[in-house]
A and B are shown apart, each in its own frame.
Chain A
Amino acid sequence: MILILLILIPLLTGVLSFSIKGEGAKMLALISSVVTMIVSAYVSGANSPEPITYSHEWIPMLGTQFSLLADGMSSMLCLLTGIVTMVVMITNFNKEVENPGSFHGFLLLAQAGLMGVFLASDALLFYFFWELALIPVYFLCSRWGGEKRIPVTFKFFVYTFVGSLMLLAALIYLSLQTQGINSYAWADIVRAGSSLPPAQQQGLFWLVFIAFAIKMPIFPFHTWQPDTYEQSPTPVTIILSALMVKMGLYAVLRWLLPVLPSGVEYWSDTVILLSVIGIVYTSLIAIKQTDIKRLIAYSSIAHMGLMCAVAFTNTNIGMHGIMVQMFNHGINITGMWLIVSMIENRWGTRDMTKLGGIATAAPAMAIMLVIISLANIALPLTNGFVGEFMLFNGLFRGDSAQHIMTMVVAGLGIILGAVYTLNMIQKTAYGEVVEMKITKDLTINEYAGLAIIISLIIFLGVYPKPLLDLTSEIAGMIVH
């Protein structure tokens, strides 16, 4: 029952929010997100030794059930969703938004969709939420985004929609293979998929993987991403980059690796190759960017590429690393976007060449920027380090024949990451002081939001055990 609350609270408050005119919507959204966060924290605490499940009759003739399941991975991602949404609501509290009722309503609906994706243990239900998370984001970007928002968001929508449709075809096919019962339950799908002949698995692999690859995004399916991140309003960029891309990775771990083992084995080298190309390619592009938002967008592709590559190495430590890094990346990237939006808010530009001297003008903000950036390049004692260390370890121990080569090339990503991140810090935080348009350092709610992020960064960097414990069991289960 508690699981359904995770979906229902944001869903109902979201719908309610549409009817609220004026600033009350912000308060409602804040309260809703805090409550959801608390529930998700409770779920993360209570899911061992047995995962929490919930099941209800839905469309029996299609063999689909409304069944939810929260094991270590699901509850960890729900917790991430809870925290990130709450931080977004806190930091957004003093911002002026046109039509706040609809804005926050859509944000909450997106949260409900995300929770559903992470919890669904029925393939058709999963597909439902997968699509439903997209619709509110579409409206958010198209209505509150930047100048080129309409074509950009449209491209994003079409991209992901094509992927989803391929996924749908594959899911229907798989459910028909469930020996007469025609079921969509996760266990049945896994059984049906893994007993298919290898040739069929290899074909189905791409139908499924393209949907997830577009979402993550993996080179060469990434072209929607920098534009969309750039054009979206910051709260939406955060939802997209911290949470929605995790949907893709989560789906690979939950709905691809166990379901089509032979297909995965056959194509894993190809996927690793694509991911590694993506890491280097996007890192190089990131170096050339002057717009901070685009820079972070490209760096995010590089990070996701690393996680995706490791997902296909089939090593225990690698899987565990992905779980940890999914959480940490979500936290770090949220921090980065918050800082960027604060900079844009005060200086009126995101162009690095026109910025400088933040350390003098707004020292508190500069400190936060440096800490978060360092976590983003995985400096030891920040949370990023733990995950990245495990990821490279996994990549090194992988099954692939070229595992050392891929690790070395992927390792270039770390160096390049340091290059563009430090370059950004240097250009924005130091150097000649540029006058602020609105002169103020951080406000109280911005302090509060960033404090949550920073404390998580440092806490999980020094003592990552809770996160590791939460996900260790499930990581072992995915490796076959």
Chain B
Amino acid sequence: MKAIIATTVFGIIMMFAGLVVNNKKSVAAIAAVLFAVLLGVNVWDLATTSPNVTDNLYFNKMLRIEHYSVWFNTLMTGCSLLYVLLLSKEIQKVGMHVAEYFALIFFILCGLYLLSSYNNLLMMFIGIEILSIPQYILAGSDKRNLKSSEASLKYFLMGAFSTGILLMGITLLYGAARSFDIMQIASMLHADFLNPLALAGIMFIMIAFSFKVSAAPMHMWTPDVYDGAPTPFTAFMSTVVKAAAFFAFLRLFQVSFNRLSEHWTIILAIITAATLLVGNITAVFQQSVKRMLAYSSIAQAGFMLFAVLAVNKFAWQGIIVYAVAYSVATIGIFSVLVKLKDYTYDGFNGLAKKEPLLAFAASVFIFSLAGIPLTGGFMAKYYVLLAVVQQGQLMWLVIFALLMAAVSIFYYFRVIIAMYFKQGTPELNSEISGTDKVLLLFTCALVILLGVAPQLFLNGI
């Protein structure tokens, strides 16, 4: 709860800091400090959250803060701090209003905190909106760039459209269950209570969430938006924000719709299969690494959907490990990408000769995304697969997903091949400073730590 207040206050502080402080560097430094403080507040929350859940109800039971929600918040705030540290220089280059960018990121985090602990569909809706609206602005923040404006508009229109569907779903659900409270909905919906209104509502909500997490066939906006938005913001949108949407998705379907799972599992399974197929196959044909990463984020979403499909305790572990592993690795690879002038594969040619450390870090991140053991990505895939195999019904989907994981090698390893085995002199935007190197190595260490000891990141969940 303290974190929700803190992030709102910090967001406002950042907006005013933009008025007072004119130096971009100082603004970024203030933001970094505030993110660190926010992480501290989250840890404080973690220590003070009562184990008794009924003590943690806020706003007329609209929020229900549980141990795993706070832990998720803490991890995602940690990822955001890492993101700000790694990409701060690039954020400063995007445009004039640096303070506002950071303020918007704080507001996004506020949305994330609401989404991880909502107890009421209205709060979920508010959370999604708080999460989304700052993103529309961030996507269009490179105002003179036509692609950035297109991304923003596209994102906004599609986002508004999916919000409409979400509201429709909530309404139908309310009609069936006569409540917005997810616990009450859960107790109303059971196998004997087959209300077409409720089923239609669940479908609408599923479709709306599929938009948010860019699952096929509702993924069309993703490549254009991710490609068009300024690269540092793409890094944030495709990681922390996406993880938050998934967490909300899982929370609702796990808590409220668990007992109706036989009705929606098959549809979600098909969505998952389609997402894996579209994401992986299309990524193979991309020429730009940035665009490839957009499709790869769709492909990774397919794996994260596994957690939603498996309605059991492994799903929570799965989504948390996946969210962290995927976020850290993706933020890492983006922080390498922004150092390069040319975003195509050819731009990476010969990077290993010129900047061995950068190439090494990029390889670790790529390995993690591809799910090679000893990296976080492997453990992430492992946990979600475990969840689904445990569930028992979907072995076909597991095998299909593994084949698709093999396809992902094609596009991920092209980066490694370019860096290590091809000749060329990549052009860098700027010299790699000592701090950058330390941070990159730290991120690599995180990725490997996640792969060797994932239990440290689960904190007993």
What is the interface of chain A, defined by CB distance below 8 A to chain B? Answer: 59-62, 127-128, 131-132, 135, 139, 142-143, 149-150, 154, 157-158, 161-162, 165-166, 168-169, 172-173, 176, 207
Verify B374–A142 contact, CB threshold 8 A: no
Q: Does B372 contact A (CB under 8 A)?
A: yes
What is the interface of chain B, defined by CB distance below 8 A to chain A? Answer: 317, 367, 372-374, 382, 385-386, 389-390, 395, 398-399, 402-403, 405-406, 409-410, 413, 417, 420-421, 453-455, 458
Verify B453–A59 contact, CB threshold 8 A: yes
- Assembly CA distance A142 to B406 (angstroms): 19
Mind listing 10 A-B residue pairs with CB under 8 Å?
A59-B453, A60-B455, A128-B373, A128-B374, A131-B374, A143-B420, A162-B402, A168-B402, A173-B389, A207-B399
Which residues of A are found within 8 Å of B317, using beta-carbon distances? 61
Verify A59–B373 contact, CB threshold 8 A: no
Verify B373–A165 contact, CB threshold 8 A: no
Verify B417–A154 contact, CB threshold 8 A: yes
- Assembly CA distance A475 to B382 (angstroms): 33
Which residues of B are found within 8 Å of A166, using beta-carbon distances? 399, 402
Verify B410–A158 contact, CB threshold 8 A: yes
Verify A161–B409 contact, CB threshold 8 A: yes
Q: 16 additional contacts, CB 8 Å, given A154-B417, A166-B402, A207-B399?
A: A60-B455, A61-B317, A62-B454, A127-B373, A131-B373, A131-B374, A132-B373, A142-B420, A150-B417, A150-B421, A162-B403, A165-B402, A165-B405, A165-B406, A169-B398, A172-B385
Which residues of B are found within 8 Å of A128, using beta-carbon distances? 373-374
Which residues of B are found within 8 Å of A139, using beta-carbon distances? 420
Verify B382–A172 contact, CB threshold 8 A: yes
Which residues of B are found within 8 Å of A135, using beta-carbon distances? 367, 372
Most buried by A among B373, B402, B403, B420: B373
The secondary structure that dominates the A interface is helix
Verify B389–A172 contact, CB threshold 8 A: yes
Which residues of A are found within 8 Å of B420, using beta-carbon distances? 139, 142-143
**What residue of chain A has the Cβ atom nearest to residue B414's Cβ?**
A154
Verify A61–B458 contact, CB threshold 8 A: yes
Verify B385–A169 contact, CB threshold 8 A: yes
Verify B413–A157 contact, CB threshold 8 A: yes
Which residues of A are found within 8 Å of B458, using beta-carbon distances? 61
- Assembly CA distance A272 to B364 (angstroms): 40
Verify B406–A131 contact, CB threshold 8 A: no
- Assembly CA distance A454 to B378 (angstroms): 43
Distance between A265 CB and nearest chain B CB, rounded to angstroms: 23
**What residue of chain A has the Cβ atom nearest to residue B403's Cβ?**
A162
- Assembly CA distance A62 to B402 (angstroms): 20
Which of B382, B390, B395, B413 is the one whose CB lies under 8 Å from A154?
B413
Which residues of A are found within 8 Å of B386, using beta-carbon distances? 62, 172, 176
- With A60-B455, A131-B373 as contacts: A142 and B410 at CB distance below 8 Å: no
Which residues of A are found within 8 Å of B399, using beta-carbon distances? 166, 169, 207
**What residue of chain B has the Cβ atom nearest to residue A135's Cβ?**
B372
Most buried by A among B395, B409, B421: B421
Verify A131–B455 contact, CB threshold 8 A: no
Verify B390–A176 contact, CB threshold 8 A: yes
- With A61-B458, A168-B385 as contacts: A157 and B409 at CB distance below 8 Å: yes
A-B pairs with the 6 shortest C-beta distances?
A165-B402, A162-B406, A131-B373, A128-B373, A172-B389, A142-B421
Which residues of A are found within 8 Å of B455, using beta-carbon distances? 59-62
**What residue of chain A has the Cβ atom nearest to residue B389's Cβ?**
A172
**What residue of chain A has the Cβ atom nearest to residue B390's Cβ?**
A176
**What residue of chain B has the Cβ atom nearest to residue A60's Cβ?**
B455
Which residues of B are found within 8 Å of A157, using beta-carbon distances? 409, 413
Which residues of B are found within 8 Å of A168, using beta-carbon distances? 382, 385, 402
**What residue of chain A has the Cβ atom nearest to residue B453's Cβ?**
A59
Which residues of A are found within 8 Å of B398, using beta-carbon distances? 169
Which residues of B are found within 8 Å of A173, using beta-carbon distances? 389, 395
